[in-house]
Structure 1
Amino acid sequence: MADTKISTHSLADLKNTTDDALGNYLRGLKFEQDNTKLDVRLAIGYASVVIAAATFAADYKLGWEATKTWTAVAVVAYALLNGAFTYWMWAVEKGCAFAGINVVSKTKKHDPTYYLTVSLADSDSRQITAPFTTWFTADGYFVAKPFQQWLASSIEEIGNADSKNALRDQREDLAAPSPEVELIAQSNGTT
């Protein structure tokens, strides 16, 4: 069980914590992470910061009158880089992080369900869903085992890499909170 408690009412916290656990789990199963897209995103972000820092330094040292033309050029360059950054994140990257297995997660407003779209190099994409209560206790603690069992049982390639967590005959039970999560919630005095 994770040591960090999060708010079970914050979908962003639930999703971010689950996304972090997903990455750690897949890397632990020796799925290779593709950092190329992340590297491009970082390069665009750093270029924007360098432009802002250079503009600030020039303005501080030389004054507004001497730098106003360069400041205008920097603002346009920054806007272009920010547009490229946004395009890269939404159109190119699309949340994909692993080579051979592309995983994109999302939530819907006011719906405590984790939506996971998995695309494999040699097959079509598929979507699996489960409520966050499957692997979070009522008081906000993440429990890895039910999360790993859900993934290993729902995605054959992950189940092949982690056969000890693949519950092939219990797929229909995975949408309900796991007994381990229920026991932890009860031992913490919540239901």
Structure 2
Amino acid sequence: MDERPKANLNAIAELKNTTDDAIAPYMESLGFKQSHLLTDVRLGLGFVACAIAAATFYYDYTLGFEKTKGYTVYAVVAYFVLNTILTVWIWWIEGNTVYLGKKGDVTIKFESSSKKYTPIYELRIVTTRGKEAPKTAEVQNPYSGWFDQLGFFVPKPFHAFITNSVPLLAKNEPEAVGSVAKSKKAKA
């Protein structure tokens, strides 16, 4: 039985999610340590909002509505504020980020996207070394570059795509020969 991830070749979201999931293990194999800060903040905000809702329910259930309605107003406002912050965090701070990692003084962030009905994987990679200005690369490649005809994920071409997309990685990975990435633009 094949243990490689498999995706429906007709489902762009499934292809994207399977590809996104392959970034972290590859970066770990290169010695990068993934930061879970974005996910931790999202989980923390959601947990606090749920705790407020649960506490409000408990006090309302045990003491009755008349005794707790003043607190309920504050709880509803706090819940609304936390969920607004959570929405802002997800849409504008976290955005399309699928990986954030660090190795030594190098920080790397991957943001991915795919347009509806277009089987092209778009990747925005931001690398920062020490106090240097961040370098951004925007690359794209069809999913057929790393999925076989049955929908199984083939890691080697994807790893070459990532390595060739990040000049910092290409210097350290001599086996990355030839670019499978088609750069739209690279900003220094």
TM range (shorter): 0.7 to 0.9
| Map of 1:57 onto structure 2 | 58
**TM-score using structure 1 length:** 0.78
Kept in 2, the 8 Å contact 1:101–1:118? The answer is yes
> Does structure 1 residue 152 correspond to structure 2 residue 163?
yes
Q: CA deviation at 1:22?
A: 0.6
1:40 aligned partner: 41
2:152 to 106, 131, 141: 141
Distance in 2 of aligned mates of 1:133 and 1:71: 54
For residue 168 of structure 2, what is the amino acid of its counterpart?
E
Contact 1:103 1:117 in 2 (8 A): yes
Matched position secondary structure for 1:98 = strand
State the Cα distance separating 1:106 from its structure 2 match: 0.9
How big is the shift at 1:53? 1.5
How far apart, in 1, do the equivalents of 2:10 and 2:76 lie?
39
Partner of 1:78: 79
Alpha-carbon RMSD: 2.1
> Aligned pair in 2 of structure 1 residues 2, 154: CA closer, same or farther (>3 Å)?
farther
Where structure 1 has 5 or more consecutive residues not aligned to the other structure, the ranges are 176-191
| Distance in 2 (alpha carbons) for counterparts of 1:139 and 1:63 | 59
- C-alpha deviations, 1:10-58, integer Å up to 9, x for none? 2221111111101111122112322333332222121112112212222
Counterpart contact for 1:2–1:142, Cα < 8 Å: no
* Equivalent residue runs for 1:109-148 within 5 Å: 109-121=116-128, 122=132, 123-148=134-159
- Bigger drift between 87-96 and 75-84 goes to 87-96
Q: C-alpha separation between the residues in 1 aligned to 2:160 and 2:46?
A: 37
The one-character-per-residue Cα deviations of 1:56-98 (angstroms, maximum 9, x if unpaired) are 2223323333333323322221111111112222322332612
User: How far apart, in 2, do the equivalents of 1:63 and 1:3 lie?
Assistant: 55
Q: What percentage of residue pairs aligned between the two structures are identical?
A: 36
Letter in 1 for 2:114: T
Q: Find out whether 1:98 has 2:101 as its counterpart.
A: yes
Q: Which protein has the bigger helix share? A: 1
Q: Aligned partners of 1:48 and 1:161: how far apart in 2?
A: 44
- The answer on whether the counterparts of 1:29 and 1:161 sit within 8 Å (CA) in structure 2 is no
CA shift digits 1:111-130 (9 cap, x unpaired):
11110001111443110100
Conserved 8 A contact 1:115-1:129 = yes
